[in-house]
Every structure is written in C-alpha cells, then in structure tokens.
C-alpha cells in the first residue's frame, strides 16, 4: 500500500509554530517500525489531535516530544523534533528541563502513592522548591486549572488513590500543570473515564489551550472531532493527512482518512 | 449422532465418580497442607513445654556457673544479639544496594547474568563452608582473630543472597507506571528510586532483611570457627572479642558437657526459638500493615 504524503505541509496553520517534527523515523529494538518519515508542524496555543487506528505511531510521536522514549527500547531514530527551535533529540538536550516544559498525562490515571497535595508538589520538590507559601499557591492554581479544586479542596491530605477515577485523571492533569509547562501531551487521557468525567476533562482542555500548546491522542474519533483545532491522521507509522480539525472530519482529502473517519475500518 | 451424556455413560465416567475423585483429591491436598504445619507446631509445643520451667530472670540475666551446669546464659544472648546487629550493619546496605542496582539499573547483559548466577550459587553453599571460608579469610588472613567482627562478616556473606533476592523482588513489584510518571515530571532516576520506589518497596525489603537476619541468628556452622567461644563467662568488649552465641552454646551443652541438666538445654532452646520467632512476628506485622496501607 502506498500512501501519498503530499499535503502534509499544506495544512500548516498561520499560528506560530511551537513544535516542528522533521522527517522523523523511529524503530524499536524488536524490529517494529513505529514512525516513518513524519513531518508535522504543531501550532502554539491550540489543540492538535493525533488520531488513527492502534499501532499508528501516535504514542511514539508523543513520547519523542518529551524524550520519554529514552526509557523504551528504541534503537533507531532519524529526523528531528524542534521545540521553540531547540533540538529535542540532541544528546546535549537537558531532558530534565525538557520534561518540565512538556507535561504529560497518560491513558490510565497514575497517581503516585501519596496524598493529593504531595502528588502536586512532587514535581516542584524534585527541583528543590520547598517554599511552603509558593507550594500552597501552586497546588490551588493547578487544581483550579484542571477543574478539580472545588471537589478536593477539603481532601488535599487524603491519599490520592481515594479519589474517583475521573478525579484522579484530572489530578494527573493538574500535576503536569503545576510545573507551568509550555506543552501538554495527553495520551488517550479519557480512555478509562465515564462520559461525565470525559466531558470535564475536555472542558478543561478547551480552557487550557488559551495558555498551553496541547497535543492530544484521543480515545475515540468523536473526541477527536470535538476537541481538534488541528488533526493529524496516522496510519501504520505514517502521517496520511494533516489539516484543521473541521476540514479533516467533514471533508477529508485522502481516501484512507475518509474511510477511517466514516468508520469503514478501525 | 450421540449426545455428550451418552458418550460419558459409555466411557463409565459418571458424575458420582467424578465427584468422588474430586473429594479424594481435595482430601489429599488438605492433608499435605496440614502435614507442613504439623512439624512447626510440634517443635514449638515440645520445646516450650520442656523449656519454659527453666526460664527465670536469673537464667537470662546471669553468667553461667559451675561449668555451665548452673546460672544463666547472658553471654550467649548478648553474643547472638551483637552478631545479628553486626550482620545487619554489613549485609543490609550491601544487599539493598545490590538489589537496587539489579532491579533498577542493570542492563540485561552477560555481566548482569554473571552477577545473578553468583548470587544464586551463594545461596546454595552449605553453611559449614561459609564457616571455613570465614576462618580462612577473616580470622587468619585478615587477622581479625576469633571475633564478633569475623563472625558478623561471615554471617553477612551468608545472608546477602536472601536479602538481595527479596529486596529485588520487592523493588520489581512496584508498578512501572510510577517510574514513568516520576521521570515525566522531570525526576532523575535516582530521585525516582529514592522518593517513590524505595518507600513503596521498603516493607518488602524489611521483611526480607528480617528473614535473612533470622537465619543468621540461628546458624551454628558459620560461627563455629569464626567467633564462638566454648565457655566465656564475660561479655564482649569490642568487635575483636570472641563471644558465646546461642546456637553454638546449645550445641555445646547438648553434646559436649557431661551431666548437663536437661532443663538448661531446653531453656536455651526456648530463648533461641523466641528470638527467631519474635523476628518472624515483626516481619509478619510489617508485611500485613504495609498491605493494608498500600495504595496500588
């Protein structure tokens, strides 16, 4: 199957570009090729959605942006990831600083085995921030941003695991916001949540995009359509089509995109 | 075409028969489980019923008199206490450190596999061989003499494999997602281990440490040539002193001293058993409390 990759740049939006993916190819040590020659421009302060069937390389791409793939068995990487013009994949990059600028929320809500409050202050304390007043303020700010403050303001010292699944996931979102990142990566953040919790997370994202660059791997095509300012369709490790969200879901240019968007394969 | 039920009847596997087989099987495995409990119960009952009458304040707080046939066993108790502590001081940092390396850092290569094979083999060496090794290395070559130091080091080497393998298991049991999250929040690997992984693995590590030390406290052969004194009615003053110790003392008064009152032998066994079972009880409490508080 040959997929035409023309037009992937044509969708480049007029907004300032935050992240530039350049001819990126990634292979894992078991021989699977996860990404093949991906070019993608991710605009600032907008929600960019990476969607497509499983195994398309969406998660791999996310984890290249904050270098979390350093933990995985990645054997071959070609190409570049630029964040504000900084070469993310360079061996000289300070990955600790990078990961503080690029927050991440995972598919399952992974709260650390500590109190709600300490989950939030953990990342700050790692870098030596111990000012009690500052930490208190940061906790409240991040919880408000994740639309969780009202629900947990009296439960800050309870174990985070005592929160409901939806609250835990918003706590994870708050935990990445507390570091005041520029970019937030979300890898199917609502896949384990009920529709109401999912709605709350999506509402938060709609507000957060005023200040943050958001890259989202949605857990359904409906969520992709609801949230996307820009959307990139991935298939078998290749970027098939990249366009403003409204366009790609109503008037896809590529046959494969159209088939997928209309549910002919999944 | 035959139905399934007819086939079963033809083969003679009636449901009554299958139920009988199930009952027999269940009885068999219940018996096996029961038989494993029986020895420990019998040992405890036997030792305590014979030995408790010998226990008195004098017995655990006085020096032995009249060629150990009277008086107390204080030097043996103190000796075993110091030996266990000395073993812990050496084996815990070394063992837990090695476990952290193996669980969190070690790449899967030949060097790591060699280390693992070494640890497995260390666990399989007979305890008397450790004793001779301790005699050769610590007592004679390093000139520590017959001393608490030599004995503790020998016991520490023997205890290491237990501590390493249980600690590594405890570290590996901590969900990997915690590591990924901590790294994604800008934590270094060491910060992740120290602030998240180690605290979560600590109860499991402590359990392994206590089980290892408990074995060290009860061993006779490794201390035979390295520390134990046949009869030394005074307390050790430094780590270079020889000392009495409970397991060796028990061996001595059971086999080497003529006309030894049998109640002193049982009394000594009670003290040793209480020491070891007490450590076991602490390990059990730590484990069950940790399980109750675990958040994953």
pLDDT at A4 over 50: no
CB burial readout A248-259, b (16+ within 10 A) else e: bbeebbbebbee
Alpha-carbon separation of residue A63 from A82, A102, A105, A160, B184 (angstroms): 14, 10, 11, 25, 10
Indicate the residue of A68, A127, A176 with minimum beta-carbon distance to B183: A68
Smallest CA-to-CA distance from B117 within B161, B154, B170, B168 is with B161
pLDDT at A242 over 60: yes
User: Which tokens is B235 given?
Assistant: 């307390």
Name which CATH class applies to B70-293. mainly alpha
B184 vs A122: CB contact, 8 Å cut-off?
A: no
- The β-bridge partners of A45 are none
SS (H, E, C) A148-190: CHHHHCCCCCCEHHHCCHHHHHHHHHHHHHCCCCCEEEEECCC
pLDDT at A235 over 70: yes
Residue A183 CB-density burial (10 A; 0-12 exposed, 13-18 middle, 19+ buried): buried
Is residue B160 within 8 Å of B102, Cβ to Cβ? Answer: no
Q: What is the pLDDT of residue A34?
A: 87
Q: Classify the C-alpha dihedral A200-A203-A207-A213 as positive or negative.
A: positive
CB atoms within 10 A of CB A29: 10
Higher pLDDT, A29 or B177: B177
User: Which tokens is B154 given?
Assistant: 């020998």
User: What does the domain layout of chain A look like in residue ranges?
Assistant: 17-112+181-261
**Percentage of residues of chain A with pLDDT beyond 90:** 72
Name which CATH class applies to A17-112+181-261. alpha beta
Q: Which of A6-15, A24-33, A213-222 has the highest mean pLDDT?
A: A213-222
User: Tell me: the pLDDT tens digits for B11-26?
Assistant: 667 888 889 999 999 9
Q: What is the pLDDT of residue A8?
A: 45
Angle CA B282–B284–B286, to nearest 5: 70
DSSP code string of B77-113: HHHHHHHHHHHHHHHHHHHHHHHHIIIII--SSHHHH
The whole-angstrom separation of Cα B175 and Cα A153 is 28
Is residue B138 within 8 Å of B150, Cβ to Cβ? Answer: yes
User: What does the domain layout of chain B look like in residue ranges?
Assistant: 70-293
The whole-angstrom separation of Cα B244 and Cα B227 is 8
The whole-angstrom separation of Cα B15 and Cα B22 is 10
User: Tell me: the pLDDT tens digits for B61-102?
Assistant: 888 888 888 888 999 999 999 999 999 999 999 999 999 999
The whole-angstrom separation of Cα A70 and Cα A66 is 9
**How large is the ipTM?**
0.87
Q: How many helices (H) and strands (E) does chain A have?
A: 10, 10
- Report the residue of B174, B181, B291, B294 to disrupt the A interface, i.e. the one with the largest count of A CBs within 10 Å: B181
Average pLDDT, chain A: 90
B185 vs A175: CB contact, 8 Å cut-off?
A: yes
CB atoms within 10 A of CB B132: 16
The whole-angstrom separation of Cα A202 and Cα A189 is 10
pLDDT at A94 over 60: yes
Q: Which residues of A touch B (CB under 8 A)?
A: 66, 68, 71, 96-97, 99-100, 103-104, 106, 108, 110-113, 122-123, 126-127, 159-161, 172, 175-176, 179
Q: What is the pLDDT of residue B6?
A: 56
Task: For B194, name the nearest residue in chain A, comparing CA atoms only.
Answer: A126
CB atoms within 10 A of CB A121: 22
Q: What is the pLDDT of residue B273?
A: 94
Which portions of chain B are predicted below pLDDT 70?
1-12
**Alpha helix locations (H) across A38-193?**
58-65, 95-101, 116-126, 132-145, 149-152, 165-177
Indicate the residue of B178, B188, B294 with minimum beta-carbon distance to A110: B178
Q: What is the DSSP letter of B243?
A: B
Helix (H) or strand (E) holding B200: helix B198-218
User: Which tokens is B25 given?
Assistant: 């099987």
User: Tell me: the pLDDT tens digits for B25-53?
Assistant: 999 999 999 999 999 999 999 999 999 99
């Amino acid at each position: 199957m040959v997929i035409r990759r023309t037009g992937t740049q044509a969708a480049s939006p007029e907004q300032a570009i935050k992240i530039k993916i350049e001819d990126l190819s990634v292979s894992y040590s078991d021989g699977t090729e996860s990404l093949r020659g991906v070019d993608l421009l991710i605009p600032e302060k907008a929600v960019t959605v990476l969607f497509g069937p499983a195994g398309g390389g969406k998660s791999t791409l996310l984890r290249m942006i904050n270098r979390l793939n350093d933990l995985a068995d990645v054997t071959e990487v070609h190409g570049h990831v630029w964040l504000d013009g900084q070469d993310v994949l360079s061996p000289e990059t300070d990955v600790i600083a990078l990961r503080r600028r690029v927050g991440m929320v995972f598919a399952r809500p992974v709260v650390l085995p500590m109190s709600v409050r300490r989950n939030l202050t953990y990342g700050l304390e790692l870098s030596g921030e111990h000012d009690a007043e500052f930490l208190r303020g940061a906790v409240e700010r991040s919880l408000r941003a994740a639309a969780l403050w009202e629900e947990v303001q009296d439960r800050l010292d309870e174990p985070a695991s005592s929160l409901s699944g939806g609250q835990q996931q918003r706590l994870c979102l708050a935990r990445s916001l507390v570091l005041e990142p520029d970019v937030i990566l979300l890898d199917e953040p609502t896949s384990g949540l009920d529709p109401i919790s999912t709605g709350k997370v999506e509402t938060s994202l709609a507000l957060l995009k005023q200040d943050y660059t958001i890259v989202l791997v949605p857990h359904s095509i409906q969520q992709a359509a609801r949230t996307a300012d820009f959307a990139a369709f991935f298939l078998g490790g290749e970027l098939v089509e990249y366009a403003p969200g409204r366009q790609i879901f109503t008037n896809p240019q590529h046959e494969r995109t159209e088939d997928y968007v209309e549910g002919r394969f999944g | 075409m035959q139905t399934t039920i007819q086939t079963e009847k033809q083969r003679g596997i009636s449901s009554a028969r299958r139920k009988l087989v199930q009952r027999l099987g269940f009885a068999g495995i219940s018996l096996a489980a029961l038989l494993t409990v029986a020895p420990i119960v019998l040992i405890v009952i036997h030792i305590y019923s014979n030995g408790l009458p010998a226990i008195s304040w004098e017995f655990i707080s006085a020096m032995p008199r009249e060629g150990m046939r009277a008086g107390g066993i204080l030097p043996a108790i103190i000796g075993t206490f110091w030996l266990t502590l000395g073993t812990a001081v050496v084996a815990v940092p070394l063992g837990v450190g090695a476990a952290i390396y193996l669980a969190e850092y070690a790449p899967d290569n030949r060097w790591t596999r060699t280390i693992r094979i070494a640890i497995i083999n260390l666990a399989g060496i007979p305890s008397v061989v450790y004793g001779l090794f301790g005699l050769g290395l610590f007592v004679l070559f390093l000139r520590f003499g017959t001393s608490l130091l030599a004995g503790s080091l020998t016991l520490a080497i023997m205890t290491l494999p237990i501590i390493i393998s249980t600690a590594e298991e405890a570290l590996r049991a901590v969900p990997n997602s915690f590591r990924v999250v901590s790294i994604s929040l800008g934590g270094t690997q060491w910060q992740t281990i120290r602030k998240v992984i180690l605290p979560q693995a600590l109860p499991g590590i402590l359990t392994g440490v206590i089980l290892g030390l408990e074995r060290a406290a009860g061993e006779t052969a490794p201390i035979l040539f390295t520390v134990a004194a046949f009869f030394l009615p005074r307390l050790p003053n430094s780590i270079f002193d020889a000392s009495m110790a409970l397991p060796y003392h028990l061996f001595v008064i059971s086999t080497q001293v003529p006309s030894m009152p049998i109640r002193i032998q049982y009394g000594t066994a009670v003290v040793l058993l209480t020491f070891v079972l007490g450590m076991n009880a602490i390990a059990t409490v730590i484990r069950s409390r940790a399980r109750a508080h675990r958040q994953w």
